[in-house]
Amino acid sequence: MEEAGAIIHRCKSCDGNRREFVRARIREHGLDAVYEMITKASKSDFLNGKSRSGWVADFTWLFRPSNFQKVLEGNYDNRTNNYNETNNHQSSVAGNPTNTVTGFVVHRAKN
C-alpha cells in the first residue's frame, strides 16, 4: 500500500476476527481478488482520507463482506473529471441538470 501512497494503516496483527475475515474473503473471491481489492483501496482518495470528513478506512472495515465487495466493484475508485465535464456540458446544452451520482440527465416535467 505504501507504494501507491496510501495512508491506510498497515495491519500489524492478524489474529481472531481479522484472520477469519481474510480467510472468508479468500474462500469467497480467491486470492487474486484480495490483492485486487488491496490495490484498489490503496489508490482510492476517499478510502485514504482525502475527503471532507478525512475518514480513513482500516483493515477490519476493508475486509468486512459488504465493504470488500464495494471496493472490488469500484464504488470507491477515483472519478475522472472527463466524465463530469462531459455530462455537465451535455446538461448545459440540453438545459437539464445531470445527476452526478448516476450520470443520468434529469428531465423536468412540463406543466
Mean pLDDT for 59-86 is: 84
pLDDT score for 14: 76
What whole-number distance in Å separates Cα of residue 37 and Cα of residue 57?
Answer: 13
Q: Shortest CA distance to 83 belongs to which of 102, 106, 63?
A: 102
What amino acid is encoded at 83 in this protein? Y
Q: Shortest CA distance to 37 belongs to which of 91, 87, 77?
A: 77
Provide the pLDDT confidence category of residue 95 given band limits of 50, 70 and 90.
low
Q: Shortest CA distance to 90 belongs to which of 99, 79, 80, 77?
A: 99
pLDDT score for 40: 95
More confident of the two residues 104 and 24: 24
Q: What is the pTM of this model?
A: 0.64
